[in-house]
């Protein structure tokens, strides 16, 4: 995992903007979620949509079977190449992707999800003419957030019945994601989201089983519901992704502490506008992402929180208040910033609102242990 | 420019999400801006921060000297490799980048901008110990948008005087960008921005010249001010980038028509929620960008406008109303969408709010002439 070429390089030698990843924090975040899954009596399938990196996936799956979830077929291809052998693709499939999916299904255990009779029928038809040894999970709608079938619907049973008509397809189970948890505020509301997510997927599993169908996997998750769930009876698998890095949205939700945030963008002060109380850094919305995920929380961090290069000394009175493509504008929350606090040429680390979005602009993590860069890890972007 | 491997491929055969670029529209957009620069009596230096692609840069510089502007040093390296020989880097420099800049300066005419005495001094000091044949432009603040020195300031003259102390540095001129034009609404306000941008940079040039300094280049621009400028007397060079592709923000500003938008994301319908009136496509905020640039305009297009795969038949009653990482949710602006309008497996093109942001998630353009994909063009992402 450690790239020898990076040895003896300090953070100071990096060109900016650079995507920093604190190795100790990633390990601690992974250990915390692993312990949580164990205490809840479920297995952990990390979602790699945030990290998109095999070395990170190895840390997150330590002590588990190695099962992972991905958000693109490009990730699936990459992780099979990196030796992972149980991969679930978390976006609904469509016939124009069946050929690529069939290729992936020859490389290990590969799963997809469906939430319509039409797609289930298309998969069954495809598998009758081409070999397609595939796991299929039925997506359950827990909270009206996005897709999925209602747990109490006839459609659930109809899809189950349709899928079992194909010899090579395995109806592996049911799966949900309580995305509306991101709109919940406070412990009680988040615990209610987690309970609703569990009830939806467990009810669906019970109904499928009673109808005579296999339902080995009962899977749910998001980082906030994982952290606020009190009881996962009936569930077999927990999925989560952003916990690996943490971010300001997770911190505002209470799903991590600000000190747990492993990801950050190292940036250099390139300009001062003393009259306006403005410090200009060489990380704009392209490096930081335009994600304004904390806009609706009590602490709006604008385009990111300002810390020292190691992520310490988070400044509460200033933020990256505005961002152009390659310029971030650090200003005081109130009043006029004394720009001498951030000398020209000095460096700060910007903590991200949303780790998935911020990491996406980079193809490499500069992995550090304190001031030392110990590795450069790749990311598999694209589709 | 045309990749033979792409011949005989139709748009229908592309995996989604894919970044589409309409070749005829790019050419028309380039011709329109070229004509505009000629009619205003200035030369055109296209800004490649939007396209980041040599084949696009060749179209945009047709009939001009080939001078371009870039937003990252990675772009500068790429475009020198592609044969461009006059490149201006549009982000303020800092000593940790001087070595890389010195390398670039050996590959052609290379320019940087400064807006502080401290950076000017650092550049002069560096050039006294290392060879550094570099153009330096002084950045002028036209509207308080970001950085730059005030045109009427003593600082402008002090920086000019400092830069002329170095034998190898060439003070090439002054440069500004009226970024506040994006906050202007209506022809009168935009014309006022364009006039203010011109006045700022011309006043700075006059003061520098009167003080005995060289000021060969008097440069300004943004796509909206370029389209709304009525008189650029005293200006030598116009810079703009997003005009090449157009987007919904430019259309809302009146700087292009919605039919001029060359860029789009091809996406497939992967889900239906008939009760919610929701159509789910396989392009979320990662492919579309999270940029909500039209939020403050009369027509808020949410995460993008929905059109047919060739960009025709723009639907005015629906938008990509919400977006998750890999899911876009098409819903009606008002009421419940009849999801049968967008059958499962069918494809639509999403027109972007902000072309620079949407293109950034991709490393390749699928360039098309009608339904035919005529080339795959690369993008140089990263820093």
DSSP sequence for B1-44: ---GGGTTEEGGGS-SSEEEEEHHHHHHHHHHHHHHHHHHT-EE
**What digits encode the pLDDT tens for the residues B333-377?**
999 999 999 999 999 999 999 999 999 999 999 999 999 999 999
Chain B hits for A118, Cβ within 8 Å: 344
What is the distance in angstroms between the Cα of A204 and the nearest Cα belonging to chain B? 18
pLDDT at B2: 44
Question: Given pLDDT bands bounded at 50, 70 and 90, which one contains residue A130?
Answer: confident
Chain-chain contact of B280 with A146 (C-beta, under 8 angstroms): yes
Chain-chain contact of A96 with B268 (C-beta, under 8 angstroms): yes
**What digits encode the pLDDT tens for the residues B196-229?**
999 999 999 999 999 999 999 999 999 999 999 9
| B46 pLDDT higher than 70 | yes
pLDDT at B7: 46
pLDDT at A9: 87
Which DSSP category does B352 fall into? P
Burial (CB count within 10 angstroms: exposed 0-12, middle 13-18, buried 19+), residue A340: exposed
Any idea which residue has 């205490």 for tokens?
A: A39
Burial (CB count within 10 angstroms: exposed 0-12, middle 13-18, buried 19+), residue A12: exposed
**Average pLDDT value for chain B:** 96
Chain B hits for A355, Cβ within 8 Å: none
Give the nearest chain B residue to A383 (CA atoms).
Answer: B17
**Distance in angstroms (rounded) separating the CA atoms of residues A16 and B137:** 22
| A7 pLDDT higher than 60 | no
With the C-alpha atoms ordered A328, A330, A336, A337, is the resulting torsion angle positive or negative?
Answer: negative
Burial (CB count within 10 angstroms: exposed 0-12, middle 13-18, buried 19+), residue B176: buried
Contact B351, B302 (CB under 8 A): no
Chain-chain contact of A280 with B146 (C-beta, under 8 angstroms): yes
Chain B hits for A119, Cβ within 8 Å: 270, 344
Chain-chain contact of A325 with B147 (C-beta, under 8 angstroms): no
- Residue B42 — φ and ψ, nearest 5°? -125, 160
pLDDT at A8: 61
pLDDT at A1: 41
Quick one: which H or E segment has residue A68? strand A68-70
3-state secondary structure of B365: strand
What is the distance in angstroms between the Cα of A211 and the nearest Cα belonging to chain B? 24
Chain-chain contact of A94 with B269 (C-beta, under 8 angstroms): yes
Chain B hits for A91, Cβ within 8 Å: 270, 282, 326-327
- Residue B359 — φ and ψ, nearest 5°? -65, -25
**What digits encode the pLDDT tens for the residues A8-52?**
689 999 999 999 999 999 999 999 999 999 999 999 999 999 999
Chain-chain contact of A147 with B280 (C-beta, under 8 angstroms): yes
**Distance in angstroms (rounded) separating the CA atoms of residues A104 and A74:** 10
3-state secondary structure of A311: coil
Chain B hits for A271, Cβ within 8 Å: 92, 115-116, 146-147
Chain-chain contact of A97 with B146 (C-beta, under 8 angstroms): no
| B13 pLDDT higher than 60 | yes
* Nearest CA among A213, A196, A100 for reference residue A150: A196
| A260 pLDDT higher than 80 | yes
Chain-chain contact of A381 with B360 (C-beta, under 8 angstroms): no
What tokens were used for B12? 């229908």
When pLDDT is averaged across residues A245-253 and rounded to a whole number, the result is 98
**What digits encode the pLDDT tens for the residues B58-90?**
999 999 999 999 999 999 999 999 999 999 999
What tokens were used for B137? 């432009």
**What digits encode the pLDDT tens for the residues B244-276?**
999 999 999 999 999 999 999 999 999 999 999
B91, B93, B356 ranked by CB distance to A327: nearest: B91
Contact A23, A369 (CB under 8 A): yes
**Distance in angstroms (rounded) separating the CA atoms of residues B267 and B18:** 7
B97, B329, B362 ranked by CB distance to A146: nearest: B329
**Distance in angstroms (rounded) separating the CA atoms of residues A322 and A305:** 12
| A3 pLDDT higher than 60 | no
pLDDT at B1: 41
**Distance in angstroms (rounded) separating the CA atoms of residues B264 and B245:** 9
What is the distance in angstroms between the Cα of A319 and the nearest Cα belonging to chain B? 15
Neighbouring residues of B185: CB distance < 8 A, sequence distance ≥ 6: B253, B297
Chain-chain contact of A273 with B147 (C-beta, under 8 angstroms): yes
Identify any residues that bridge with A220 across adjacent strands, giving them in sequence order.
A238
Chain-chain contact of B383 with A147 (C-beta, under 8 angstroms): no
B73, B92, B327 ranked by CB distance to A270: nearest: B92
Residue B353's CB is within 10 A of a number of other CB atoms, namely 30
Chain B hits for A292, Cβ within 8 Å: 290
* Nearest CA among B103, B91, B173, B95 for reference residue B133: B103
Chain B hits for A92, Cβ within 8 Å: 270-271, 280, 282
SS3 helix, strand, coil % of chain A, rounded to 5? 35, 25, 40
Chain-chain contact of A357 with B115 (C-beta, under 8 angstroms): no
Tell me the C-alpha to C-alpha distance, in Å, between residue B343 and each of A218, A351, B271.
30, 41, 9
Burial (CB count within 10 angstroms: exposed 0-12, middle 13-18, buried 19+), residue B298: exposed
pLDDT at A333: 97
A71, A356, A361 ranked by CB distance to B360: nearest: A361
B118, B291, B381 ranked by CB distance to A344: nearest: B118
**Distance in angstroms (rounded) separating the CA atoms of residues A379 and A368:** 16
Question: Given pLDDT bands bounded at 50, 70 and 90, which one contains residue B155?
Answer: very high
Chain-chain contact of B90 with A360 (C-beta, under 8 angstroms): no
Contact A56, A244 (CB under 8 A): yes
Report DSSP letters for A81-140, one per residue.
HTT--EEEE-S---GGGHHHHHHHHTSSEEEEEE--HHHHHHHHHHHHHS---EEEEEEE
Report DSSP letters for B247-282, one per residue.
-HHHHHHTSS-GGG--EEEEEEEEEEETTTTEEEES
**What digits encode the pLDDT tens for the residues A52-95?**
999 999 999 999 999 999 999 999 999 999 999 999 999 999 99
A17, A72, A118 ranked by CB distance to B383: nearest: A17
3-state secondary structure of A254: coil
**What digits encode the pLDDT tens for the residues B128-145?**
998 889 999 999 999 999
**Distance in angstroms (rounded) separating the CA atoms of residues B292 and B299:** 12
**Distance in angstroms (rounded) separating the CA atoms of residues A347 and A363:** 21
Residue A363's CB is within 10 A of a number of other CB atoms, namely 17
Chain-chain contact of A282 with B17 (C-beta, under 8 angstroms): no
Give the nearest chain A residue to B98 (CA atoms).
Answer: A15
**Average pLDDT value for chain A:** 96
ipTM: 0.96
Chain-chain contact of B16 with A345 (C-beta, under 8 angstroms): no
């Amino acid at each position: 995992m450690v790239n020898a070429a990076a040895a003896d390089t300090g953070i100071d030698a990096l060109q900016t903007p650079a995507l920093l990843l604190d190795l100790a924090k990633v390990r601690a975040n992974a250990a915390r979620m692993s312990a949580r899954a164990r205490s809840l009596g479920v297995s952990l399938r990390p979602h790699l949509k945030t990290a998109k990196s095999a070395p990170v996936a190895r840390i997150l799956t330590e002590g588990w079977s190695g099962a992972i979830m991905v958000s693109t077929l490009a990730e699936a291809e990459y992780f099979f190449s990196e030796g992972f052998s149980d991969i679930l693709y978390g976006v609904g499939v469509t016939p124009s992707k069946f050929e690529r999916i069939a290729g992936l299904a020859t490389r290990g255990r590969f799963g997809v999800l469906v939430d319509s009779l039409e797609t289930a029928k298309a998969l069954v038809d495809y598998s009758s003419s081409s070999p397609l040894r595939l796991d299929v999970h039925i997506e359950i709608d827990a909270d009206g957030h996005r897709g999925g079938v209602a747990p109490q619907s006839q459609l659930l049973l109809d899809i189950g019945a349709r899928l079992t008509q194909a010899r090579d397809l395995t109806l592996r189970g049911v799966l949900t994601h309580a995305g509306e948890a991101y709109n919940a505020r406070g412990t009680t509301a988040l615990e209610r989201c987690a309970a609703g997510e569990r009830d939806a997927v467990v009810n669906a599993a019970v109904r499928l089983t009673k109808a005579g169908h296999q339902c080995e996997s009962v899977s749910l998750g998001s980082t906030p519901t994982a952290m606020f769930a009190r009881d996962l009876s009936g569930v077999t698998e927990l999925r989560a992704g952003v916990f690996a890095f943490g971010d300001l949205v997770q911190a505002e939700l209470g799903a991590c502490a600000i000190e747990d945030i492993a990801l950050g963008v190292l940036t250099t002060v390139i300009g001062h506008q003393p009259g306006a109380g403005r410090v200009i850094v060489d990380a704009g919305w392209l490096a930081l992402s335009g994600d304004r995920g904390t806009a609706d929380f009590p602490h709006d961090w604008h385009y990111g929180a300002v810390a020292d290069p190691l992520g310490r000394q988070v400044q509460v009175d200033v933020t990256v208040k505005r961002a152009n493509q390659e310029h971030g504008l650090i200003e005081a929350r109130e009043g006029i910033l004394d720009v001498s606090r951030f000398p020209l040429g000095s460096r700060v680390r910007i903590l991200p609102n949303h780790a998935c979005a911020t990491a996406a602009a980079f193809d490499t993590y500069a992995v550090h242990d304190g001031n030392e860069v110990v590795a450069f890890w790749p990311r598999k972007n694209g589709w």
